[in-house]
Chains A and B, each alone.
Chain A
Amino acid sequence: MSMNRIIVLMLLLFVIEGAVMPWIIPAGFGNRIIPHFIFVAVVFSALYSGRHLALLLGVSFGLLQDIVYFGHLIGAHAFIMGLIAYYTGVLLERRRATVMMAISIIGFACILYDSALFFIYKVFRITNESYAWALIDHILPSLFLQLAFALACYVPARRIFESQTKANSEQDEE
């Protein structure tokens, strides 16, 4: 799977996340269940492809998200997504993650991502809520959506990113 194909698929995911998911989430839960599919895809790339690709995808798609939905500040998603993706890649460089391991890592990464975002907004005094409330209100409910998404697209995501690394290493050998 070439790099172009991955980027096109992730752009499609970005569009779906912003335009289709608000309709799928039942009315009344719009503020509580929040999709982070791009982030899940970036963590998959860190698990099965490599930390550098993950850093690149994380920073660029984070920046895209920051700019398209610009409300208060630019750069928060880009920085946090890139950082978490890179260090996930560093932690699991020599191992190939199994399903359970991948899902639990994605779960932890999602909590970390949401918490980091919350604290950035808190530092700049854009939110005044307490962390305990944010955890119950949206971080934990949306975690389940992310885990379901990760489980649903585990097989295709793994195949796509592993074949990308393979293609890359073959090119290097040539």
Chain B
Amino acid sequence: MRNKRMFMLMIGFILFIAVIGFSLSDRKELTWPEKFLKDSAAYVQQWFYKPAGYIAGFFEDIGNLRRIYEENEQLRITAAAYSRDKIEYNFVKKENERYKEELSFTKRQKQMYNYNYLIAQVVSVSNDANNRTMNINLGSKNGIKPNMAVTTVDGLIGLISAVTPLSATVTPITELNEASPTFNSIAVTIMGREDESFGILSSYNKETNRLLMTKIAENDKMDISDTVITSGLGNVYPRGLVIGTVESMQKGDFGLTNTASVKLAASFDHLTEVFVVQVPELEDAGQ
């Protein structure tokens, strides 16, 4: 009896290692049982997540009633600034289009930064401390693909890691890790000095809740409380998504480059709508 139990345990352990090895391998797509399970779970969970959010939001709103006046004031100022900037933006945009025409940009180059924002609902959040993924209710049928960036109004929160026909999984940026085999690094720059600054977000330190930005040139004029945005270099992630603010700068490991710690702009609690940034198709990249 005892031998049988040991035997079963060994078989279970081997099976477990095999399944982990299979899931860790560089898979392009999920298998169909996974897709089916994920889709049906997302379908059911969306009935629960949204009403729960409404109820929680109602109580939060009552608490926030007093702050509304201040917020309104601020919003009015922002709206005024926006309408001023919008006029300038339109002029610059027109001019830019004309230049592109004159310099005979290819169609691909013109379309490159024409991002499309898809609004998605979060339907569930993982209950695993080491793997805080979220599921959203848009899938490959809506044009979602792996590695698309996901943002809220505050800033970047993560990347799409797995896609099924009706839902997709978002891996939060807090899982960013150099040593991890499943997540890529993100190239970033500083808002206002996009062509001068450069850095790479390589890992997230959970103990201090800060992102680590590495490979900053020594003569970089990056300063504390600058806003960090994605640079779009490499054309995998879109450019211009806010990530956070620089909080402190240090010398790097070998003294040749600097590192900085970045405080995230977005919060991961009580998320409702998120935006998936759809980068235009670059199939004709060879032209």
Contact = CB atoms under 8 A, between A and B. Distances in A.
Are A and B associated in one complex?
Answer: yes
Interface of A: 14-25, 27-31, 34-36, 64-65, 67-79, 82-83, 114, 117-118, 121, 124-130, 133-134, 137-139, 142
Contacts, number: 167
Given A15-B48, A71-B126, A78-B16, 9 more contacts: A31-B129, A69-B133, A71-B133, A71-B161, A76-B20, A114-B129, A121-B130, A126-B130, A128-B203
Contacts of A74: 19-20, 22-23
B169 A75 contact: no
B126 A69 contact: yes
B134 to A, nearest CB: 9
Interface residues of B, number: 55
Interface in B155-193: 161-162, 169, 171, 174-175, 177, 179-182
A121 to B, nearest CB: 4
A67 B36 CA distance: 10
Nearest to B35: A67
Nearest to A35: B127
Given A15-B45, A19-B52, A24-B56, A72 B24 contact: yes
Interface of B: 9, 12-13, 16, 19-20, 22-24, 30, 33-34, 37-38, 41-42, 44-46, 48-49, 52-53, 55-56, 123-133, 135, 161-162, 169, 171, 174-175, 177, 179-182, 203, 206-207, 267-270
A137 B206 contact: yes
Given A20-B52, A23-B56, A121-B130, A72 B180 contact: yes
Nearest to B36: A67
A72 B41 CA distance: 19
A118 B131 CA distance: 10
A76 B129 CA distance: 13
Given A20-B48, A126-B177, A82 B128 contact: no
Contact of B129 (A23, A67, A134): A134
